[in-house]
Structure 1
Amino acid sequence: MVPANYTWMFCSESNDRYDYLHSRSVPNAFKADSDVSCNKLIKSSVSKDVVKGVKFRFCLTNSVGSCCISIHLNANTHKDMTPNLLCFQQKPQYQPQLQMIQMTGPSDNDYIYINFKDFEYDRKWEFPRENLELGKELGSGAFGMVVQATAYGIKKPGVSQKVAVKMLKEKHQTMEKEALMSELKMLTHIGHHANIVNLLGACTDSGPVYLIFQYCCHGDLLNYLKNNCERYHKSVTDEMPQVRQVSISVLPFVYLLNYSLQSWCDPESFETPDEQTEDLEALTFDDLLSFAFQVARGMEFLSSKNCIHRDLAARNVLVTNGRQVKIGDFGLARDIDNDSNYVVRGNVRLPVKWMAPESIFQGMYTMKSDVWAYGILLWEIFSLGVTPYPGIKVDHMFYSMIERGFKMECPYYANETVYGMMCKCWALDPANRPSFSKLVSFLCDLLTDREENVGLYLC
């Protein structure tokens, strides 16, 4: 059974926008078995002074889908309204993994997803469709695709820039277009950060909706790690034939490490490094630390905006110039039906090996469930792209192991300090997991120590 949240909203005649009144959790609202429809009766009531012309909406939402009913309050309506909502499984619809939440109580589980459907779209983000030249496909999924494109004048007049464009497939439902527009409005509300795949603009007039994002030239982090695993060196000194000989390859490393500490530690900075900076041939332990640090910085930023990702993994992080990494959401363009990372659970496909126990068993997603996923992503980074829980099939034994607190062993390229950090992310009690701010501070200290050691060596 999958739990759900129900929400009461109200709207007066003079205002077309619904405001939240209250919300609560409803355990076991939907049957999770793929071949069984749910006919559970959900009852809820709200007492409100009778005011002519007030409209109410009651919605029930969980990972399966949502359903709502509207009530128009007039003088003859009883003030204690009790809707009986009969819910059925719905065909999967597009929903971005990244969600902004609103806390509704003292517990981390007391929250609702903010629906941006009724928010106004800030037209300063509108980009002329005729200035966008679409190119090759970068990814395709059940709901849409991402294509490479050239945008003329999106940053500076007369200057072209490579971008990535997210769009729905040609045959899409109205609700999917509404979901993409809601995603657009959410992204404009979140703002920019160095370690997020930032929105640059959108085309919403006279044609299909296009969301325009930064283009990251090196693709996703998972494949980047796999492709570079043969050229991994534990430290920059491993490349040197003699202990005291200074290799020319150390110099760009020191530049990049200094850049990461001076620029990425600055929360106001969201500019990429010089595009002419060449990536090092070898991938080092310090690079892996830098990847971990940057993702933590991006997630710290999202957490500060009350955003949860719900699918944090190396496949959803992109790499660009200077080995800068950026967190994205590519669910629209991922073929999850043919991706072994997404396992059927109930009537949906979920990235179970990255999910916290409370997400698997209760359908609850919070900042702390993202911290669990971050721990799994750390394991991916320090194994150079190995699939988590190698050799373990996702079945009832796997779920039982997770419930009992099973933790993966230290990945081959991690040290005990980094592994200890991973294990803290995998605490069964979400309250015992570190915040992203603490993870950022911890990793920044590790990187600073590494930088000082390299500096001493060069002296």
Structure 2
Amino acid sequence: MKVRQISHHVFVILLAVTVRSQVNPEMCRYPLGMTGGQIQDEDISASSQWSESTAARFGRLDLDNGDGDGAWCPDIMSEPDGLKEYLQVDLRSLHFITLVGTQGRHADGMGNEFAQRYRIKYSRDGTNWVGWHDRKGSQVIEGNRNAYDVVLKDLEPPIIARFVRFMPVTDPSMIVCMRVELYGCEWLDGLMSYSIPEGQEMIYRGLDVYFNDSVYDGASAERLTKGLGQLTDGTWGLDDFLHSHIYGMWPGYDYVGWNNKSLPKGYVEMIFEFDRIRNFTSMKVHCNNMFSRGVRMFRQATCYFRSGSDWEGDPVTFRPTVDRVSQGARFITVSLGDRTASAIKCRFHFSDLWMLFSEVAFQSGSAEYNTSRKHGHPTNTLPGEDPTHKVDDSNTRILIGCLVAIIAILLTIIVIILWRQVWQKMLEKASRRLLDDELTARLAVQTQAFSSHHSSLSSESGSTSNSTYERIFPLCSDYQEPSRLIRKLPEFAQSTEHIGPSTSCRGLASGVSDGAPHYAEADIISLQESSDSSTYSITAVNMNLFAGSDSSMREFPRDKLTFKEKLGEGQFGEVHLCEAEGIQDSLDEDLSIEEKSDSPLLVAVKTLREDANKNARNDFLKEIRIMSRLRDPNIVRLLAVCVDTDPLCMITEYMENGDLNQFLCNLRLKEAVDENKMDRGEKEGESMISYSKLIGMAVQISSGMKYLSSLNFVHRDLATRNCLVGKNYTIKIADFGMSRNLYRGDYYRIQGRAVLPIRWMSWESILLGKFTMASDVWAFGVTLWEILTLCKKQPYSQLSDEQVIENTGEFFRDQGKQVYLPKPLCCPDRVYNELMLGCWRRNAKQRPSFQEIHTQLTETLA
């Protein structure tokens, strides 16, 4: 698996080298170095500073190095217009910037200064400064509400700049402090500005369609000059130019367009200025081709090149194949023949009444050029050796050398990993006795009866599923997002390192840290060391609750366990349904079963495979220690253990009516019974359940979760499949769902390794790997939805797994496009609007607690 991960990295590196196309704003969202330190102190400046401890170099987002007061603060109060004081960042080269983040001053808890609002100015050359504004013209950005939380703001439209200034705005005047970060990527095109005719207006069936470049940041008269705009914003127009990618924009917004009748020469002339002399291979132009409305892609492109003061006389001419069938917008690649220049002038000839462009991008490399060049070849050189066209391929050679070195290092790592894995397996087998001495539970002699009985019944049960699920919990800061959405949001990644066999990301802290977000592109962490189906998440428990106490359980004889059914299996163990003879007599008083009976008790037995590694064995024993301390009527209890010898076993309650999901699937709601006599016979033959009974089940689940939350205990996989049903609709929370093949479709597999119950998970759990009480509340809302729909459908059944993940991105963006689960037919408006939707609030702090949920549901029953 690690070999595949490393191979994937090699592929990504090679792909990044070979593909140098136009920028994609959805992928271009990497931190540019304020937090990570890639931006040096000398590249951070300010208009002023309050003191040496609040100098510009301390204005780095979420960075506390023990020096300074933790932010940049100007020496005077900021003015309401926000045009005097600024914090400036020099990125050293042009960058495509899509996102900014801000914080206030912390000063080790003593500071409370922050910028409630701010403006941004930027420059590509350090001389000409432009004030950023959004697509509707607003220049002021909403900032922070306290000194600690990071506030991220998308720049729509994005900017292309080397220098960026943050300018705090206050009303009324007040002292402000800022910490900042910029997110984006390097601007490989090197395009400094383009000059084009001003876009024009089309009247289509009485509708005004404007094709102006509305975000152009240069001068505008008859021509747009010395700026960049929509042709370089990374947004491609739709096939139908009347519609836009951007919500609420006017028809034609995504395109810049011209009418043939208004340009008598029959072509549109564009001039592109670059940062230096470059060797150009091609130009990509995104054109509309809706010829049914008089719009076609250009008929011919003629491009002239300039490296000095004059345009060269030998242009490159390109004629694309005219598409008279498909009206879809498309990129047209214009070959530029490896010509060197610092400016390009292209004339695009009309082939119909209108010509519409939405994006222009260039593929080029660095080149040396002799500005005193004259036409013709020097007499002392051959035509093919013209030094004025010599491409400086030093960067290419350096790049190839780096790639060779990287590949060699990766191959070495692969060999080391394979060697370590072989020796680790050998050492684990050789040190079995030493390992057992380290475990907190002593192992004794195994009785042969259970093993033989177990093996014989297993062989009779037929072939078992080869599907194994790796438990992904707990996650740590190395967690990476499971889909292509990782490239869209900056919050959720910190490291490209993988967790190896000797490393564990299992912290024992209570809850989950809400640290500031970071971003990096990396694979999912290796999860080979995590246990397969831990009943509860170990990381979320405050282990201090159990420190210093003996939590060992009573040993139960294995020969008194009778195998009934295999419930499921995982990478490190199996879950069996068994009958335990006489277990009631061996239970402690606080674990006694309410109804005493001489008949064997139905129990769930979770076993750890004998070949499980050290981490898995330790996790299993920790789970026993934790579960032995859980005491609540609505939590499945640990009854006994078998740890005298392998395989290690824990024995838990199992309710006679099975899991809640299957229990509800076989029921119908009483209030929903149709009185139509034609199908009365069919419906009366089915079991019925009332709405009040369903709410009673939800009350019990919320009660159990209230108990867990009082211990700072995060379940992480709350769903009806993980709730068991006993007599009189008694509900107890468990966690067997992941190990059961029956619920394989409820878990989303990440690159063949880990699985996530994404349809029950909050957006921050999927995207950021954050699991808190609030994320359990989100899952409870989905569980309540399951209960009130009698589990007839999977949550978001109309969406694919990938669409579910995309929907979590909409929750993050919070632009009103997120899809919620619909209100169940039997659900009152108050329960849906106040409780369910409350559980799914974007802001985790605004979601109700389990105490509040339990109170509200109890009042509903009253």
With the length of structure 2 as denominator, give the TM-score of the two structures. Answer: 0.35
Kindly provide the amino acid, as one letter, of the partner of residue 339 in structure 1: R
Aligned-partner SS, 1:364: coil
The 10-residue stretch of structure 1 (121-130 or 325-334) with the greater mean CA deviation from structure 2? 121-130
Deviation at 1:375, TM superposition (A): 0.3
d(CA) in 2 for partners of 1:201 and 1:119?
A: 21
Is the CA contact 2:576–2:605 (under 8 Å) kept in the aligned structure 1?
Answer: yes
CA distance in 1 between counterparts of 2:857 and 2:807 reads 30
**Aligned pair 1:29/2:478, yes or no?**
yes
**2:514 maps to 1:89:** no
Query: What is the aligned counterpart of 1:175 among 601, 604, 615?
Result: 615
Contact 2:723 2:734 survives alignment (8 Å): yes
Q: Over residues 70-121 of structure 1, what are the superposed CA-to-partner deviations in whole Å (9 max), with x where a residue is unaligned?
A: xxxxxxxxxxxxxxxxx9734253152522556xxxxxxxxx8759999876
What is the identity, as a one-letter code, of the residue corresponding to 2:828? N
State the alpha-carbon separation in 2 of the partners of residues 116 and 172 from structure 1: 28
The Cα shift of 1:40 comes to 3.7
CA contact (8 A) 1:99 1:113 kept: no
User: Residue in 2 aligned with 1:98?
Assistant: 536
1:208 Cα deviation (Å)? 1.4
Structural RMSD (CA): 3.8
Change (3 A) 1:119 1:211: farther
- Name which of 296, 321, 332 aligns with 2:727: 321
Q: Does 1:308 align with 2:748?
A: no
Following the alignment from structure 1 to structure 2, what is the Cα–Cα distance between the partners of residues 295 and 208? 32
2:693 corresponds to which residue? 287
Cα distance, 1:419 vs structure 2: 0.8
Shift in Å, 1:134:
2.9
Q: CA deviation at 1:167?
A: 1.2
The aligned residue for residue 112 of structure 2 is none
> Structure 1's 422 and 181: CA in aligned 2 closer, same or farther, altered over 3 A?
same
Q: Please, which of 423, 431, 438 is the counterpart of residue 837 of structure 2?
A: 423
- In structure 2, relative to structure 1, the CA distance for the partners of 1:60 and 1:200 (3 Å cut) is closer
Does 137-146 or 306-315 show the bigger shift?
Answer: 137-146
Could you tell me whether the CA contact under 8 Å between 1:134 and 1:147 is conserved in 2? yes
Distance in 1, Cα, partners of 2:568 & 2:479: 32
Please tell me the residue identity of whatever aligns with 1:379.
W
Matches of 1:332 and 1:406, distance apart in 2: 25
Aligned with residue 141 of structure 1, among 570, 586, 600: 570
Q: Secondary structure at the match of 2:749?
A: strand
- On the 8 A contact 1:149/1:163 being kept in 2, the answer is yes
Query: Residue 330 of structure 1: which of 732, 736, 740 is its match?
Result: 736
Q: In 2 relative to 1, CA 40–203 (structure 1 residues): closer, same or farther, beyond 3 Å?
A: closer
The alpha-carbon deviation at position 366 of structure 1 amounts to: 0.7
The alignment's TM-score, normalised by the length of structure 1, stands at: 0.64
| 2:805 paired with 1:392 | no
Aligned to 2:380: none
Q: CA deviation at 1:329?
A: 1.3
What displacement does 1:352 show? 0.8
Inter-partner Cα distance in structure 2 for 1:369 and 1:33: 17
How far has the Cα of 1:335 moved from its partner? 4.2
Displacement of 1:140: 2.9
Superposed CA offset, 1:345-366 (max 9, x none): 4652101111111111111101
| CA distance in structure 2 between the aligned counterparts of 1:335 and 1:373, rounded to whole angstroms | 21
Please show how residues 20-419 of structure 1 align to structure 2 within 5 Å: 29=478, 40=497, 61=505, 89-91=526-528, 93-94=530-531, 96=534, 98-100=536-538, 114=543, 122-156=551-585, 159=598, 160-169=600-609, 171-190=611-630, 192-228=631-667, 231-234=668-671, 281-330=687-736, 333-335=739-741, 339-345=744-750, 347-385=753-791, 386-395=793-802, 397-403=806-812, 404=814, 405-419=818-832
Name the structure where helix makes up a greater proportion of residues: 1
- Aligned pair 1:440/2:849, yes or no? no
Gaps of 5+ in 1: 2-15, 18-25, 43-57, 64-86, 103-111, 242-279, 449-459
Find the aligned partners of 1:33 and 1:435 in 2 and give their Cα distance: 28
Contact 1:184–1:211 (Cα < 8 Å) also in 2: yes
- Following superposition, the deviation at residue 136 of structure 1 comes to 2.3
The number of aligned residues is 334
1:143 aligned partner, one-letter code: F
Give me the identity figure in percent. 31
- Which amino acid in the other structure matches residue 800 of structure 2? K
Greater C-alpha radius of gyration: 2
Query: Matched residues in 2 for 1:169 and 1:199: separation?
Result: 19
SS, match of residue 339 in structure 1? helix
